[in-house]
Amino acid sequence: MKILVTGGAGFIGSHIVDLYIGLGHEVCIVDDMSHGKEENVNSNAKLYKLDIRDKELYKIFQEEKFDVVCHQAAQISVPHSIDDPFLDADINVMGTLNILECCKKYGVKKVIYPASAAIFGEPQYLPVDEKHPLNMQCGYGVTKHTVEHYLDVYYKLFGIKYTVFRYANVYGPRQDATGEGGVVAIFSEKFLANEAPYIFGDGEQTRDFVYVKDVAKANAEALEGLDNEIFNVSTNVEVSVNDLFNIFNELTSSNLEPVYKEERAGDIKYSYMTYEKISKACGWKPEYSLKEGLDETIAFYKSK
Ligand SMILES: NC(=O)c1ccc[n+]([C@@H]2O[C@H](COP(=O)([O-])OP(=O)(O)OC[C@H]3O[C@@H](n4cnc5c(N)ncnc54)[C@H](O)[C@@H]3O)[C@@H](O)[C@H]2O)c1
Among 20, 48, 113, 140, the active-site one is 140
Nearest in space to 97 (alpha carbons), one of 35, 23, 158: 158
* Average pLDDT of the residues in 171-198: 89
Question: For the range 36-39, what are the long-range contacts, defined as Cβ-Cβ under 8 Å and sequence gap of 24 or more?
Answer: 36/7, 36/8, 36/9, 36/10, 37/9, 37/10, 37/174, 38/9
Can you give the pLDDT at residue 304?
Answer: 86
Which residue owns the Cα nearest ligand 1 atom 42?
Answer: 76
Q: What is the pLDDT of residue 179?
A: 52
The answer to whether the CB of 208 is under 6 A from ligand 1 is: no
Mean pLDDT (whole number) for 21-49: 98
What average pLDDT is seen over the chain? 96
Q: Is the pLDDT of residue 38 over 80?
A: yes
Which pLDDT score is estimated for 268? 87
Give the Cα separation of 197 and 259 in Å (integer): 7
Domain 171-208+237-274+288-303, CATH: 3.90.25.10
Q: Note the pLDDT tens digit of each residue in 222-275.
A: 999 999 999 999 999 999 999 999 999 999 999 999 999 999 877 889 999 999
Query: How would residue 161 be classed by pLDDT, with cut points 50, 70 and 90?
Result: very high
2-169+209-233 has which fold?
A: Rossmann fold (3.40.50)
Average pLDDT (33-48) is: 97
Query: pLDDT per residue over 65-123, tens digit each?
Result: 999 999 999 999 888 999 999 999 999 999 999 999 999 999 999 999 999 888 999 99
Could you tell me what percent of the chain has a pLDDT over 90?
Answer: 92
Which residue among 5, 12, 167, 272 is best mutated to probe the pocket of ligand 1, counting the most ligand atoms within 8 A of its Cβ?
A: 12
Residue of minimum CA distance from atom 9 in ligand 1: 114
Any atom of ligand 1 within 6 Å of the Cβ of 182:
no
Min mean pLDDT across 11-25, 146-160, 175-189 is at 175-189
In the chain, domain spans: 2-169+209-233, 171-208+237-274+288-303
Contact in structure between 244 and 197 (CB atoms under 8 Å): no
Residue 132 has what pLDDT? 97
In percent, the amount of the chain with pLDDT more than 70 equals 99
Distance CA 8, CA 206 (A): 29
What's residue 183's pLDDT?
94
Q: Could you tell me if the CB of 116 is within 6 A of ligand 1?
A: yes
Give the per-residue pLDDT at 115: 94
Q: Is 31 in the pocket of ligand 1 (CB under 6 A)?
A: yes
